[in-house]
Structure 1
Amino acid sequence: MGAAVVARLVADGHTVIGVDLRAAAEGDVVADLSTPAGRRAAARAVLDRADGVLDGAVLAAGLGPAPGRDRARLIAEVNYLGVVELLDAWRPALAAAERAKVVVFASNSTTTMPVVPRRAVRALLERDVPRALGALRVFGRMAPSFAYGASKIAVSQWVRREAVTREWAGAGIRLNAIAPGAILTPLLEQQLATPAEARRIKAFPVPVAGFGDPGQLAAWVVFMLSDAADFLCGSVVFVDGGSDAWFRAEDWPRAVPARHLRRYVTRMKEFRALSR
């Protein structure tokens, strides 16, 4: 999906600075986003090449569940810290562009995957990966799957929280997320080649049937980077064939419950105070 976004942006005449574990194109920044040093190096290299001004950013690097003792940690580091630490470092350069757009890749796993521990999500939001992994140990060999869900929930909540702040919205930066469903990437094709995996994937509800195309996701991302998205702020856009709607048609949108009224009023007061 990231490669499709790059191809679309380059075709539209944009200059793209890629960040990858291995160089996918000439001039890419090669960095390991699963380590603090790799994330710092990636952030610095992009800022150097952009001369301190970024018109936009797409955070598409991510890892999915797979066997391996260290997989849950890698997922947490890349999918969550690999987004928020880079964006923390790039925020001044995005603000310098005045109307910058940022798109973070989330997932429809945020709302279709049950039993993801809230403790793990809270720990990631506090950037405490060891504590998040501790909350996932109960799942044993399934820990990477729940680490994936936790990482995508945490990054979506981070986008929602940060997007509306003075540092982001107030600086002219539009921060949003896209939540894909089953997209026919090489990884999905590999999974479909395994009969047991294929049965599990095909059994998952996708009301429009079939799988999404990476090029379709790229078109959405390009729209979210465009001037047409000036009024889009803090949104999580589901492009998943209807799976999210299938599972939670009545969960969202909903009126503010009475038990949340105090928090609602508090947030209103906070906004008025910031607007003065």
Structure 2
Amino acid sequence: MTRTYVITGAASGIGKATAELLGEAGHRTIGVDLKDADVTVDLTKPDDRERMGREVGELSGGVVDGVAAIAGLNAPIAATAAVNYFGTIATLEGLRPLLLKSAAPRAAAVASMASIQSADDALVDSMLAGDEPASLRRADALQERGGSEAYHIYSSSKRALARWIRRTAPTEAWAGAGIPVNAIAPAVVLTPMTAELVATPEGRAGLTEQVPMPLNGPMDPVVAARLLSWLLGEDNSHLCGQVVFVDGGYDAVTRGDSVW
């Protein structure tokens, strides 16, 4: 049965791989990105987030079967907080009315293995409180400090997203409405951004030390896309509020049996 999927970040990386995989399976995809997409918006901007909902509604005919909120940044800048957290939440919540009209609605987001790394508690708390102006002020302050504190913008955005998924998925608005919502947490994905890091044995060794992935090392985007495809499919009837680490073992190495 052909389904209609909305994929943010569809022009590159995991988003592109997911759109291609679902398209090859015969499904209809509506891509959202800054460019080269069916809907071109900037998810750092509240007005664009609202426009995305309107345009997706028009293109889909008012019914969406699955939403993959993949768009994101991995940069030590305040815009990372705006896209990774507020843009993702706006995507999921803004398109939920279209999901409600599907016979088998599904939703998934992309968190990160960085969610278990060091983060900024104040930024995480302001995000979870839904206070975007305060979050951006805090992110600006971290950006100005630079170094590891600026990187905390990324890890904080992914931690807040993972916690939102856990809090929100079992609620009446999602589980109660028959919509499974989950997230994946990838480790190092082979994209143009990481190509230089793994181009030499020395670079790969350094990356492996920083992000150990004992099972097959860094992965192609399609690995994450395959997991997202299942999460968004009709076979996923009961997975609820899970953050699934697809990371070559990084989570198991890092946290061991402290979680299960």
TM-score by length of 2: 0.87
Unaligned runs of 5+ in 1: 254-276
Aligned to 1:214: 221
> Within 5 A, what are the aligned runs for 1:194-213?
200-204=206-210, 205-213=212-220
Q: 1:83 touches 1:104 (CA, 8 Å); kept in 2? A: yes
Aligned to 1:123: 126
Aligned to 1:9: 22
Distance, in Å, in 2 between the alignment partners of 1:147 and 1:44 is: 30
Unaligned runs of 5+ in 2: 1-13
Instruction: Give the secondary-structure state (helix, strand or coil) at the position aligned to 1:132.
Output: helix
2:66 is equivalent to residue 60 of structure 1:
no
Aligned to 1:249: 256
RMSD: 2.0
Instruction: Give the secondary-structure state (helix, strand or coil) at the position aligned to 2:86.
Output: helix
Q: How many residues are aligned here?
A: 243
Distance, in Å, in 1 between the alignment partners of 2:128 and 2:103 is: 27
Instruction: Give the secondary-structure state (helix, strand or coil) at the position aligned to 1:13.
Output: coil
2:171 is equivalent to residue 165 of structure 1:
yes
2:87 is equivalent to residue 74 of structure 1:
no
> Within 5 A, what are the aligned runs for 1:149-160?
149-160=155-166
39, 42, 59: which is aligned to 1:49?
Answer: 59
Q: 2:213 touches 2:248 (CA, 8 Å); kept in 1? A: yes
Q: 1:75 touches 1:144 (CA, 8 Å); kept in 2? A: no
> Within 5 A, what are the aligned runs for 1:133-148?
133-135=136-138, 137=141, 140-142=145-147, 143-148=149-154
Q: Percent identity, aligned pairs only?
A: 36
Distance, in Å, in 2 between the alignment partners of 1:198 and 1:119 is: 33
Structure 2 counterpart of 1:88, one-letter code: E
Q: 1:117 touches 1:135 (CA, 8 Å); kept in 2? A: no
Aligned to 1:271: none
Instruction: Give the secondary-structure state (helix, strand or coil) at the position aligned to 1:179.
Output: strand
Aligned to 2:97: 92
TM-score by length of 1: 0.82
Structure 1 counterpart of 2:153, one-letter code: A
Instruction: Give the secondary-structure state (helix, strand or coil) at the position aligned to 2:30.
Output: coil
Q: 2:107 touches 2:232 (CA, 8 Å); kept in 1? A: yes
